[in-house]
A and B are shown apart, each in its own frame.
Chain A
Amino acid sequence: MSFRIQKPQPLLGLLFLLLNWNAFALESRPDTIESLAKSEQWLFLMHYQPSTWGGYKGLATSPKFYAHPEGRTHPKKELQALVQLFNEAHQNSYKVDQHPRCRFPFRFKWLKRNLKGFAPTESPANCELYDLYIDKHNAKSIGISFSSYNVNSPSSAFGHTLIKVSSNKNLNDHSKKTELLDRGINYASNIPDGVNPIWYAVGGLAGFFPGTFSSVPYYFKVREYNDYEARDIWTYHLDLNQTEVDDLMDQLWELGNSPYDYYFLTENCAYYVLRGLQAAVPRIQVMDKVPFWMIPGDTVRALAKVPGLVKAVDYRPSIRTQVFARLDKLNPDQAEWVKDLASNKVNTSALSTFSESQQRDMLDAGLDFIELINPDDYYEKESPSLKAKFKLLQLRARNPLETLSLQIPLPEQAQPDRGHESARWGLVGRTDTLGHFGLGFDMRFALHDVLDGEVGYMRNAGVGFFHIEGTYWEEQNEFILDSFAALEVIALPAYSYYQPNKSWKMIFGHERRIDENCLSACDLFGIELASGRTYALTSQEDLLIYGLITTELKWSRHLPGSDFLAGVGPDVGLLYHWSLNTKSILQYKHYFYLGDQREVYRSGLAELRSTITTNWSLGVSFQNNEGHKSVNLKLFNYF
């Protein structure tokens, strides 16, 4: 995996400024081909990046994106060729959509604004597709939509962002057009059908799947995220003037005409959304507000950091949120009736014992409930739940009462820009029963675990990417790598009638272990998988108990006998939410290995963590791994 620097180095920029001070002093802005070719804006709008071997390389992989055959690696040649292309356009005849003004409308505008003496002879351009694109979007306002984290899907564990284009100038002016008829411009990787999740993760990291832009009706995204995947959607409305909106649309048009290498962690949807925005609207300096790895949550935090940019935040509750809002209005008897719908039982005679308005509320809740638990009915043609739902629909159509409109207030604690930053480092003070003292470090590139502050994130779930833990033991003067998890996922949603959720865990990576079989410690590599259930013990769901069956399959050179280790056993625990910011966990894992000389491996953990400010948290834990006990004091910073 390669991490690259995505933004021009500030120091280099300063150096450049100093070296070119005279040029700047004479002209208030760069306006010759020479100076423009070096300008940050040109590098940005062409999506050049400093390349590993010096010089630049464009992110767009298609030669059609460039005017010069070597344009991808030569910003200056590219600019010269582009200017020439525009200047000579009137001498050539182009097929429909091939005129340079159709292909590069934003570059054309930009040159007119910035290059002194740029005034190509007018020539007619027949831009059918471009005109259609502009006409259909009729862009008047722009929002960035973020669909919340969903750990159950590998492609959306980190959330997703897309650009929402509306033809309504004002946010809530839906008199002419409802929000559903807006459009979503989406950047995503093209994954061939049937790719398995592991290959998806690996290939996505390595950039094997090219990414492209597409524009879809916003209703498609609403149905997909809100209903089918039951994820809340947050939209950040941007305060842009009409010129900026037009520029962004033109910039996206140019971006949209080439595929790109898609990297999960760096060059993903979040990255291109922000890049396109800054390329089109240079006053929005967002790229310096994000880390060089980037996930969708970083997008909204970066936008929120630009003063005055976000004029409003909109919340669109998922079908799950709607169901619970409707269920809240029911009395226990009514709720009981709705529960039965889980088994596709529509008890008409029981329904008739309720008053007409009660029936309405039950049917309204039931319709959404049956949709929530049977998402596959979106494409299924025949199923018991479709039949049950159809019965509900008929009953509802016969009930004359109007639906009570759902007022779901925006849940501020879940607003994604208010959460902690996505990466985390920490210092750990460690002491074991022998009185040794160790200084530990903890680094995680993304994103969240169940004990981190919940604001802006999910509850009872976590997903971690590249989590490294190590300790320096003072006495032995030795540095030890304790663990490295390439990927760790934990999902402990409470199981209920309404939501028969499965709980699961996965850890893929390295772990150092000391037990009977590894007296001098073993470095184990492999995977741990667990599956089971979580139950809420209180109605507030702040105390949860979980029980999973966990398995592990690991490899190590240090094991006596075989190099492989396979174990199975229980993983049980208690999770308590003291508040949004303070959480604790009690956990016990017990592995049986019935092979070779190995017997069991037991590990217990008690941990309390409290978020002090958004990006700082403190924790204390007690760990007992096969009798090797330690007390740890942790300080974390999110960045």
Chain B
Amino acid sequence: MKMNLVKVLSIVVTALLAVSLSANAKGKKGHKGHKGHKGHKHKKEMMMDKEATFERKYGLAGCGLGSIVMGKDGNQVFAATTNNIYGIESTIVGITFGTSNCTDPGHKEWAWNVDQFVKTNKVTLASDMARGSGESVATLSQLLGCQNSEHFGRTMKANFSTIFPNERVQPMQITDSVVNVLLRDKELSQSCTNVDLG
């Protein structure tokens, strides 16, 4: 009787260890991403913002590649394990590329590209903007068509608190602020040729 108890105990220990290891194997990624859907809050914050926000005819997750890769829920960039990312990314080369998910063809490509970039690179972009330089800032500068990425980087740094007012700032807000900041800058407002607000 006593021996059976010990055996059951060892089995339980093994099972617990297996579970903890498999959780470890998943790289702690789990499903924490689904915690609470507070994402809607940012819309209100945006409305109250005095700065102009740029109207998009699409939701950030509305169309194209980004929605397929990242899922409809904005907080899932890497929430999924690698496998899950592949799971979402189930469409084939031909179709992943396009506007197949896009219900409204009236969007501006540059804004869409910038939104997607900001969304995936948000963490790195914040560090690079605070530093005033770095690969992600240079890439963003290219996406916006700016000619002088060093000046772009310095300007982002100088306006860091406008672009990142808090740690909960959402990608679309970041894009909006970046565009607002560069429109106020004499040189950038001229040289960032991709920014087309028409």
Interface residue range, chain A: 35 or more
Interface size class of B (residues with CB under 8 A): 35 or more
When A396-B131, A529-B17, A568-B13 are in contact, do A193 and B123 touch as well, CB less than 8 Å? Answer: no
**Shortest distance from the beta carbon of B87 to any chain A beta carbon, whole Å:** 5
Which residues of chain A have C-beta atoms less than 8 A from B93's C-beta?
A: 133, 185, 213-215, 252-253, 255-257
CA distance A156 to B13 in the complex (A): 27
- Residue of A with least CB distance to B34: A379
User: Which B residues are in CB contact (< 8 Å) with A193?
Assistant: 80, 84, 87
* Residue B96 is within 8 A (CB to CB) of chain A in the complex: yes
B residues in contact with A136, CB < 8 Å:
97
How many Å from the CB of A280 to the closest CB on chain B? 14
A399 CB to nearest chain B CB (Å): 9
Instruction: Judge whether A227 and B124 touch: CB under 8 Å.
Output: yes
User: A34-42, A282-290, A327-335, A368-376: which lies at the B interface?
Assistant: A368-376
Pairwise interchain contact B82-A376, C-beta atoms closer than 8 A = no
Contacts of A392 in B (CB 8 A): 130
Q: Is the CB of A181 within 8 A of B65?
A: no
CB <8 Å contact, B136 and A502: no
Going nearest first, the 4 A-B pairs with the smallest beta carbon separation are: A256-B93, A397-B160, A566-B10, A390-B167
Report the Cα distance A308→B116, complex, angstroms: 37
> A228–B81 Cα gap in the complex (Å)?
10
A227 & B69 in contact (Cβ 8 Å cutoff): no
Q: Among A66-74, A218-226, A348-356, which stretch is in contact with chain B?
A: A218-226
Given contacts A403-B133, A596-B3, 12 further A-B contacts (CB under 8 A): A130-B94, A153-B26, A176-B142, A177-B142, A194-B31, A252-B93, A364-B131, A371-B127, A390-B164, A393-B164, A502-B24, A594-B7
Decide: A188 and B86 in contact? CB cutoff 8 A: yes
In the complex, the answer to whether B87 meets A389 with C-beta atoms within 8 Å is no
Report B-chain residues with C-beta under 8 Å of the C-beta of A258: 92
Report the minimal beta-carbon distance from B175 to chain A, rounded to whole angstroms. 15
Q: Interface 1/0s, chain B 6-33, versus A by CB < 8 A?
A: 1100110110011011101111110111
Q: Kindly state the separation between the CA atoms of A523 and B78 in the bound complex, as whole angstroms.
A: 43
Please tell me if the beta carbons of B127 and A223 are within 8 angstroms of each other in the complex: no
On chain A, the residues within 8 Å of B76 by CB distance are 379
List the count of A-B residue pairs having beta carbons below 8 Å apart: 245
B62 within 8 A of A: no
Could you tell me which A residues sit within 8 Å of B by CB distance? Answer: 97, 128-130, 132-133, 136, 152-156, 176-181, 185-186, 188-198, 200, 212-217, 219-220, 223-224, 227-229, 252-253, 255-259, 364, 367-368, 371, 375-382, 386-387, 389-390, 392-394, 396-397, 402-403, 502, 504, 506, 527, 529-531, 549, 551-553, 562, 564, 566-568, 593-596
Q: Report which residue of A191, A220, A531, A562 has the largest number of chain B beta carbons within 10 angstroms of its beta carbon.
A: A220
Q: Which residue of chain A has its CB nearest to the CB of B37?
A: A381
A residues within 8 A CB of B122? Answer: 378
Residue in A130, A176, A180, A379 with the greatest tally of chain B CB atoms within 10 Å: A379
